[in-house]
């Protein structure tokens, strides 16, 4: 039996529609899991039932996390949120933590996990943390954009067996204050946290980069998906 991974849907506000990037599904599949996209729901009973079918949860990329959730006012014109996703993912993450289900966060997923556990975000990195590091690269998105340093002794260091790697980067927000309980596993040249985990959990990891774009060409991206799916076996 292959592990089933519940995947959070992406939101298209123009079409008022949910959608999925194939890379999230393919990344899970090539690692030996079965991806299952959730409907847009914050109904507690429906989510309980759905999560009963799943062995792990993938928090995908997408809209900005609502700054209200970390006690800030949105910077005008720079922040685009999806409150419906915030409320759904709050319920899903709470249930996943209660059940100690493996969770992987990607991009917004990393930011959401940090906010959920009480951390805060840069609402707009170019405005609030300007540097030479290119966090918002142009297409193609599987191209390495900046280096990250991997923290020695971290689970990511054990997974990849290396002190640094190049990652793609397509985000304009990032972790400002790290939430209590989370630890940084990798950071960018400007100091921004690029991978975090929660020690003591079965598997609660998040990366700021996009393995769903790079897994085809990048062994390090495949290794992250593989460790995630293997944690469910
Ligand atoms: Mn980055």
CA of residue 84 relative to chain centroid, distance: 17
How high is the pLDDT of residue 78? 95
DSSP secondary-structure letter at 64?
Answer: B
Say if CB 51 and CB 198 are below 8 A apart: no
Mutual angle of helices 108-116 and 83-99, in 10-degree steps: 70
Cis peptide before 86 (omega within 30 of 0): no
Over the stretch 187-216, which tens digit does the pLDDT of each residue have? 999 999 999 999 999 999 999 999 999 999
**Percent residues over pLDDT 70 in the chain:** 100
Tell me how far apart the alpha carbons of residues 216 and 23 are, in angstroms, rounded to a whole number.
Answer: 9
Q: Residue 55's pLDDT is what? A: 98
The answer to whether 84 touches 66, Cβ cutoff 8 Å, is no
Per-residue pLDDT tens digits for 131-185: 999 999 999 999 999 999 999 999 999 999 999 999 999 999 999 999 999 999 9
Task: Supply the DSSP symbol for 224.
Answer: H
Q: Which residues pair with 37 in a beta bridge?
A: 7
């971290």: which residue's tokens? 154
Q: Could you write out the DSSP letters of every residue in 25-61?
A: HHHHHHTT-EEEEPPS---HHHHHHHHHT-SEEEE--
- Per DSSP, the three-state class of 195 is strand
Q: How far is the CA of 171 from the centre of ligand 1 (A)?
A: 6
pLDDT value for 195? 98
Write the pLDDT tens digit of every residue in 29-38. 999 999 999 9
Which residues is 54 bridged to in the sheet? none
With CA atoms as reference, report the closest residue to 89 among 68, 62, 121.
62
Compute the distance from residue 3 Cα to the ligand 1 centre, in Å: 29
In this predicted structure, what is the pLDDT of residue 129? 96
Q: Give the Å distance between the CA of 175 and the centre of ligand 1.
A: 11
Mean pLDDT of 19-41: 97
- Say what the pLDDT of residue 200 is: 96
Give CA–CA dist 36/56, Å, rounded: 10
The CA distances from residue 15 to 19, 59, 81, 88, in Å, are: 10, 22, 15, 19
Catalytic residue set: 107, 210, 212
Q: What is the reported pLDDT for 212?
A: 98
Residues lining ligand 1 (ion), CB within 5 A?
135, 169
- Measured CA distances, 140 to 23, 24, 75, 191 (Å): 14, 16, 28, 25
C-alpha of residue 42 to centroid of ligand 1, in Å: 30
Which one-letter DSSP state was computed for residue 3?
Answer: P
- Summarize pLDDT for 59-117 with one digit per residue, the tens: 999 999 999 999 999 999 999 999 999 999 999 999 999 999 999 999 999 999 999 99
Spatial separation of the C-alpha atoms in residues 104 and 56, rounded to whole Å = 8
């Amino acid at each position: 039996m292959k592990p089933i991974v519940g995947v959070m849907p992406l939101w298209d506000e123009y079409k008022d529609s949910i959608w999925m990037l194939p890379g999230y599904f393919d990344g899970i599949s090539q690692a030996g899991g079965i991806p299952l996209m959730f409907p847009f729901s914050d109904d507690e009973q429906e989510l309980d039932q759905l999560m009963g079918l799943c062995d792990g949860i993938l928090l995908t990329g997408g809209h900005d996390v609502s700054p209200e959730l970390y006690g800030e006012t949105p910077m005008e014109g720079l922040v685009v949120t999806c409150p419906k996703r915030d409320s759904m993912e709050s319920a899903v993450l709470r249930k996943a933590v209660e059940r100690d289900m493996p969770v992987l966060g990607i991009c917004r997923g990393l930011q959401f996990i940090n906010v959920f556990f009480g951390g805060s975000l840069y609402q707009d990195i170019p405005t609030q943390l300007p540097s030479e590091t290119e966090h918002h690269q142009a297409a193609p998105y599987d191209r390495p954009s900046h280096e990250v340093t991997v923290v020695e002794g971290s689970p990511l260091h054990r997974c990849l067996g290396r002190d640094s790697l190049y990652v793609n980067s397509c985000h304009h927000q990032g972790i400002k204050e790290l939430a209590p309980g989370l630890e940084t596993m990798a950071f960018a040249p400007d100091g921004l946290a690029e991978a975090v985990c929660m020690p003591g959990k079965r598997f609660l990891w998040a990366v700021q980069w996009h393995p769903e774009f790079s897994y085809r060409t990048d062994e390090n991206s495949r290794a992250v998906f593989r460790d995630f799916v293997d944690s469910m076996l």
